[in-house]
Chain A
Amino acid sequence: MEELRLVTSAPPHLKSPVTVPWIMQQVVFALLPAAVWGVVFFGPRLALPPLVLSVLACVGFEALDCLAFRRSLTVGDWSAVVTGMLLGLSLPPGCPFWIPLVGGGVAILLGKQMFGGIGQNIFNPALVGRAVLLISWPKIMATWYVRPAFVLQPAQAATYATPVDVVTSATPLGIVKAYGYPAVWETGPNLLFRLFLGLIPGCIGEISALLLLLGFLYLLLRKVVQWDIPLFYALGLSLVALLARQNPLFHLFAGGAIMGACFMATDYTTSPMTSRGRMIFGFGAGALTGIIRWLGGYPEGVTFGILTMNALVPLLDRMLPRRFGVKKA
């Protein structure tokens, strides 16, 4: 056997500016527009506490875990901040204060530290937290507060008479599940336009497709993420939407599809390493999202769609190994 000769040359060495904290900070920047819009649209009283508490919970629980199990403190890599932001942005505005705390704890302890910390986890931590919250408190996670002007009403439901500063409202996907797909188009004009801009009830940071796409564009330009997963996610979701004879654009802009495709499915540790693997991964997550929305019991399928595909990542990496120097696999 020939001996591998890896020699460290004499300094000076080139140090790459691309570090984990830098990447994570870029993601935080990219999420900021959507977060700010959430706070403006829902008002700071409804939107700020979940966001702030979720970030604090994630960072706090990671620090606690590192101390309790005598691990080196990994809070400085900003990844817990990203997890906290993703979780906070996917919570309903006005949820009780303990929802982000429990969610953050589950996300970090169960979703990340249990597997060995950053880089070791199989499932996206923010989605693990959200999934446990969704299963545990379905009512709270489906109670959407919004200013009265933006309430979505299906034609069948009674209207609110008394003027109050915030009221609960159905979300577009909730209306689809409860009253059927046509009902959502009867809720008012320019539905697609409002979905795209974010003038609808929904999760704090998921409402504006436009701002999330802008953030994603920034990440693309900074070469922090690649385009393949989101594109194939969109393809998968659109295909299922077409099969269901529903508008693909509606499904792309509604709920957490953009947030999931651009920011959650693209997580390095929980997505495949090869390009082909990522295409299958993205397509599968998008298709599952659509199938759950169309045929499943939950109105929204992003969380479970991506988590299911996360579980398949080790398999995809094994089936489609990256071969150095080989053009065609």
Chain B
Amino acid sequence: MKNILRVALALTVVCVVAACALSVVHVVTKEKIAEEAKKELKEALGVVFPKAETFTPLDLAAFGTLPESKDIQFLEAYEAQSGGERQGLVFKVASTGYGGPIVLLVGVDTKEGKITGLKVLEHQETPGLGSNVAEAGFLSQFLGKSLESPFRVGEDVQAVSGATISSRAVARACAKVAEIVRGEGR
């Protein structure tokens, strides 16, 4: 009985001390971490939509039924604004590539019906082959593309050589985003 008390006491003391230490560190770093995450998101959004100054998160439900399938999922949506006026939309999409989902941001200018930019946030594609879809060399071909384009690898999209599946995943993300935006305009 006495032993059990001793064991319980030891564990409790250690846990309490650990919890105190952690809460102090958490309080100290909390703001900074949130700030960093915000800054990172803002930077990424700025890359795909350079013209806009502010981005407001939107509810994905506002777009009605999304054209999702097992190969593509919509994660987040933002409204890109400049001078308080809506310029376009940015979508965070997960599209299945060769090694797993490729998470990317797709920026769309809704006034001109064009793609404004792409940025790959996460991927597990083969280094040296599929990983090249995250490079500007591949992504720049989408810049300024009309939303009416078919976004099909081999037709209007040039695949990264040796990485057709990864290239298709990026093209698919653009095609689906274009589909949503076209649907919204009607």
Contact = CB atoms under 8 A, between A and B. Distances in A.
Determine whether A and B are in direct contact in the complex, meaning some CB atoms lie less than 8 angstroms apart.
yes
Interface of A: 137-139, 142, 156, 178, 297
Given A138-B128, A297-B98, A156 B154 contact: yes
Contacts of B98: 297
Interface string B79-119: 00000000000000000001000000000000000000000
A156 B126 CA distance: 25
A296 to B, nearest CB: 12
Interface string B154-181: 1000000110100000000000000000
B154 A139 contact: no
Interface of B: 98, 126, 128-129, 154, 161-162, 164
Contacts of B129: 138-139
Taking chain B's interface residues, is the majority helix, strand, or loop, or is none over half, making it mixed? Answer: loop
B115 to A, nearest CB: 25
Contacts of A142: 162
A142 B98 CA distance: 18
Which 5 residue pairs of A and B lie closest in terms of their CB atoms, listed nearest first?
A138-B129, A139-B162, A178-B164, A138-B162, A142-B162
A139 B154 CA distance: 19
B166 to A, nearest CB: 11
Contacts of B126: 138, 297
B58 to A, nearest CB: 37
Given A156-B154, A297-B98, A139 B164 contact: no
A138 B161 CA distance: 10
A45 B164 CA distance: 31
A112 to B, nearest CB: 27
A154 to B, nearest CB: 11
A299 to B, nearest CB: 10
A178 B160 CA distance: 12
